[in-house]
Amino acid sequence: MTKSQNRARTGTIVALDIGTSKVCCLIARVERPPVENGTRIIVQPRIIGSGLQVSAGLKNGVIIDVEVAETAIRKAVSAAEQMAGDHIRSVTVNLNGGKPLSKTIGVDVDIGGLKIDDSDLQRVFQRTVSLNTNGNGNGQTNSHSSTQAVKDPGRELIHSIPVGYAVDGNNGIRDPRGMFGERLSVNMHMITAANGVIKTLRSVIEETHLEIDDFVIAPYASGLSTLVEDETDLGVTVIDMGAGTTSIAVFSDGDTVFTDIIPVGGAHVTNDIARGLSTPIAHAERLKTLHGAAMATASDEHELIDVLHVGEDEHNSPNHIPRSLLNGIIQPRLEETFELVRERLTDSGFDAIAGRRVVLTGGASQLQGTQELATIILDKQVRMGRPLRLRGLPDSMSGPAFATSAGLISYAIEKPSAVSISTPNIKKETGGLGNRLGNWLNEHF
């Protein structure tokens, strides 16, 4: 049995994916021992309840109307509970905003020539915690990081993920236990996000009487449900194209090394169409999904489509426009979005590590021609991502729009080498950050 199989959590697991366009709640039962299936996710949970609700009160992945958002969450959760015939207590939630910052911090500890064991791993993890909480650790930052930014009081630590150990300068070690050396080093990928966004999200969820097991950065979750092991090992970028966000997670050497969220998504495309063609939002959405394309085709000039103008109803004689007019509105917005992605990747310094492979997820990736446009602008090999098939998941929730939802289940089961560190409220409940970290280590090593 592999180490990750040993770690897998069983029992009831709940994913709460709060998106800009939909809220999805999945209740999974993990009953069987995990089985190897050649992909990163090696357990097979069974979905026993699911609830899907049109989202409200969110903009660009962030809650802007507390009461309305709470109602949508309540409805999605209670639909899932009804189907499962059970009440849920705690959820694993996506984080789609809060301007996440990825920092990689190099931390090292003395081993004194002895055999490396769990306590040494605990020491390096504790060192990163102290860096985050009071800045007293001996940690050193690498070229992508700044200790100052990690202990920024306006930000909370969401993930702390070990991305490669070194023993006496020998890099590329995934598990150093059992090795001998003088000095153990680890690069920690620490993801922080703005306090306010997290506090609002937490308070809204807690209003529904649910506890929060973990927050997971949305594109990280999407990667967990769609990538195969070769991709995460060799380097890949997941781009989750949602309604209000386009988010990025770079994976390399088996885990995520960089994440980012751009507050632009499919809803902006729809708004552009509504404005450009003077048509109601609902009609613009229909035009986009039925006739829209990310790239113009030769026949667009001759193909006519019906457009309803604002204030008119279906009974008015339709206005015909060439499809090229519609796609001429869509293409620039998507080009701009992929250019922003390219810019963020370049600025991050992780573009080379990310390699040449890109996987697209999210509902907005379904727009015809998106894969081709991404290939051209990013100059990489692009494939469409589909979340791993979860047993019991309704077909309507198995598409790319549900990559984050499915990935939250994967995260909750596996917590793939991530040290999930709680935020202040939870810290109080559990007796401190170090304590929770200690519990995690006890559970997983």
Q: What is the contact surface with ligand ATP in residues (CB under 6 A)? A: 19-22, 55, 61, 96, 218, 242-245, 265-267, 270, 285, 288-289, 362-364, 366-367, 401
Measure the CA angle with vertex 339, ends 338 and 341; round to 5°: 60
Nearer to ligand ATP, 128 or 361 (CB): 361
Least distance in angstroms from the C-beta of 292 to ligand ATP: 6
Tokens 């600025």 sit on residue: 347
Nearer to Mg ion, 337 or 404 (CB): 404
What's the rounded Cα separation, in Å, for the pair 339 and 357?
Answer: 16
Least distance in angstroms from the C-beta of 74 to ligand ATP: 17
Nearer to Mg ion, 96 or 192 (CB): 96
Nearer to ligand ATP, 95 or 124 (CB): 95
Nearer to ligand ATP, 54 or 352 (CB): 54
Q: Using DSSP, state whether 210 is helix, strand or coil.
A: coil
What's the rounded Cα separation, in Å, for the pair 405 and 417?
Answer: 19
> In the complex, which residues of this chain contact Mg ion (CB under 5 A)?
19, 242, 404
User: With CB cut-offs between 5 and 8 Å by kind, which of Mg ion, ligand ATP, none does residue 289 bind?
Assistant: ligand ATP
User: With CB cut-offs between 5 and 8 Å by kind, which of ligand ATP, Mg ion, none does residue 145 bind?
Assistant: none
On the CB side of 175, CA atoms within 13 Å amount to 10
What's the rounded Cα separation, in Å, for the pair 67 and 45?
Answer: 32
Residue 118 carries which side chain, given as an amino acid letter?
A: D
What's the rounded Cα separation, in Å, for the pair 36 and 10?
Answer: 16
Nearer to Mg ion, 93 or 354 (CB): 93
User: With CB cut-offs between 5 and 8 Å by kind, which of ligand ATP, Mg ion, none does residue 422 bind?
Assistant: none
CA nearest to 416, candidates 272, 233, 268, 275? 233
Q: DSSP letter for 60, please.
A: T
User: With CB cut-offs between 5 and 8 Å by kind, which of ligand ATP, Mg ion, none does residue 410 bind?
Assistant: none
Q: DSSP letter for 176, please.
A: -
User: With CB cut-offs between 5 and 8 Å by kind, which of ligand ATP, Mg ion, none does residue 124 bind?
Assistant: none
Least distance in angstroms from the C-beta of 402 to ligand ATP: 8
Least distance in angstroms from the C-beta of 299 to ligand ATP: 19
User: With CB cut-offs between 5 and 8 Å by kind, which of Mg ion, ligand ATP, none does residue 97 bind?
Assistant: none
What's the rounded Cα separation, in Å, for the pair 119 and 78?
Answer: 43
Element (H, E) at 65: none
User: With CB cut-offs between 5 and 8 Å by kind, which of ligand ATP, Mg ion, none does residue 367 bind?
Assistant: ligand ATP
Q: How many CB atoms lie within 10 A of CB 431?
A: 11
Nearer to ligand ATP, 147 or 375 (CB): 375
Residue 82 carries which side chain, given as an amino acid letter?
A: Q
